[in-house]
Amino acid sequence: MSGTKLQHCTIERDSDGIAWVTLDVQGEAANSLSTEVLKELEAALDELDSGDRPKGIVFQSGKSGFIAGANVQELGAIENATEADALIERGQRVMDRIEAMTAPTVALIRGFCLGGGLELALACRYRVADRDPSTRLGLPEVRLGIHPGFGGTVRLPDLIGAPAALDLMLSGRTLEGRAAQRMGLVDFALSPWQLVDATRDLIRRDPGRHRPKWWQRLAGTLPGRYALKPIMQRQVKQSARAEHYPAPYAMLDLWVRHGGESAPSRIKAERTSLTRLIDGPTAGNLIRVFLLQDRLKREARSSDVVVPNRVHVIGAGTMGGDIAAWLALNGCRVTLFDEHDKAVASTLKRARSLFQKRLKRPERVTAALDRLTPDPRNRGVEGADIIIEAIVENLDAKQGLFRSLEPRMREDAILATNTSSLPLEQLAEGLQQPGRLIGLHFFNPVAKMPLVEIVAGEHSDATNLDRGQALIASADKLPLRVKSAPGFLVNRVLMPYMIRAAELYAKGTQRESLDEAAKRFGMPMGPLELADAVGLDVCVAAVDVMAEPLGLEVPASMRSMVDNGTLGRKSGRGFYVYDNKGKPDRGRISLEPAELDRLGQDLIKPLLDEAERTRDEGIVADGDLVDAGTIFGTGFAPFTGGPLHYREQHSGQRG
């Protein structure tokens, strides 16, 4: 092969006259389309357009993934609409040039192909993807408060039809290669050794770009667009309010208003719409949240430690069982012990359901189930890299268990507790090696909550903390280092907010108004709904632990509910009464919007105050991590950028 080497990509021409453009962004773990990389792609296209024209052009990656999308760091640094417009214009120009190449163009996709990466693939005439599950394709820009801007809102509907395209773009979900082939998004999803031959064959045959079926094209007509819009809008409203997350609504509006125009006109409208979104507050805050998430992942990868793989879980209740299932799902060898066989059987049933939902294919489900082993004699203790305790939240019970486990554990094994509130210093009393004890605080439901607090006690060994953090990151969770203190971070900022709601309810404020006020602010669930979901007994116990150091007090009416067995959703009655399907008996909201907004501010103030105190006390390393933990651990309104960021933006306070 003859070729040209640029900084971030190479061009090699083979004996068949095919040009292979390999993108390998220097100094980065993944390819992204920064301004610098886009300029280099333009230079590569200039070369391909000059001299001997290639018979075909293949775009591929020199890394494990194809292209992760636009460079999010660069997006976050954009200061005004002019800068945003310039970046979008350049990206669109590159994609337009790829689409206009006379030679057949193929995107050869291995690994993730997201955002701008998929938009580059869409600009190609053909797409060939690895069928391995690690290959994922999608346009997840909506999660950054924006929509596709390098021609994706135009080319994807033209390729697979508007209904499927809008579903992908509005949800931000990703597809495996085989699902993408069924949809028409890729021409072939094949085994790794077949990819190059299939690519060459497409170039040789050049059969023409895929087109959606006639009935899929009907949605692009004027009547079709106006008929589909309210259906899609109702779906969006279930998960995103327009005042908080404008991007999906802007995307729908873009399609309805301009869907019948020429491709150049639609791409121009896409650019105008995206520039407006990038220049707004939501995109900036959601990009900030993305970068905070990336920081948590990077910090977990920064330590050079051996990741624990053999895990022994003690306690097969809801939390312990779901922790065991999640770790097995993500590749760990897990043994599970509980004194009650029924609890283990229940875990295995839930685990099978989780594996079937996540893994789809029977062979992968079977492999995950094989990694989760019931251990009725508790023999997994001796061989485990890490033992995770998830028994009753009782100091004496946990201390007694730890004393019985330590003599049986390997010298280098870690002992981890899933306690939600007990200080590790007390739990470690009586251990011969207190440094082996760390906290791994998962949140319920385990499969949905992305954050895990890595709790450092006074004596916790730094290497053990690093290994625990690495385990959590390898299990597709976000690990957050926190200091052992009452409530750690998440429960500490959450409980004052929930207690404030309970106080207002006790004084006569309507429960539906309290919950709606929180959701209008941007919380995913109202505080009384949340208390019912967590369990009122669990909330009261957590507040009791934090009562003295934080000055919290459970309202007498709430404590009385617990004493009478009114525990929330699990007992069928809490602040709400629940039917057999778990649906609450909600009534009509009594307050006007302006009153709800004032009530929302009243509810959220204790959370903001506590977030500031956790920063000042060094519960986590800095204020950004307070924001990250609160967003990913409580669901605090992501579009605000986090509680401290929100307060700074709205009151000028800095930390």
**Residues that are catalytic:** 420, 441, 453, 491
Radius of gyration of the chain (CA): 27
Q: Which residues contact 416 (CB under 8 A, 6 or more apart)?
A: 386, 387, 388, 389, 437, 438, 439, 440, 468
Give yes or no for a contact between 316 and 176, defined as CB atoms under 8 angstroms apart: no
Give yes or no for a contact between 335 and 375, defined as CB atoms under 8 angstroms apart: yes
Burial class from Cβ neighbours inside 10 Å (0-12, 13-18, 19+) for residue 409 reads buried
Calculate the alpha carbon distances from 250 to 217, 256, 275, 514 in Å.
Answer: 21, 10, 11, 30
In whole angstroms, what is the distance from residue 449 CA to residue 137 CA? Answer: 23
Q: Which two tokens stand for residue 506?
A: 């006790």
Q: Which residues contact 441 (CB under 8 A, 6 or more apart)?
A: 418, 419, 420, 452, 453, 455, 482, 488, 490
Closest listed residue to residue 30, CA positions, set 77, 70, 76: 70
- DSSP one-letter code for 373: E
Cross-strand partners of 333: 310
Q: Which residues contact 461 (CB under 8 A, 6 or more apart)?
A: 435, 436, 438
Q: Which residues contact 579 (CB under 8 A, 6 or more apart)?
A: 585
In whole angstroms, what is the distance from residue 558 CA to residue 154 CA? Answer: 54
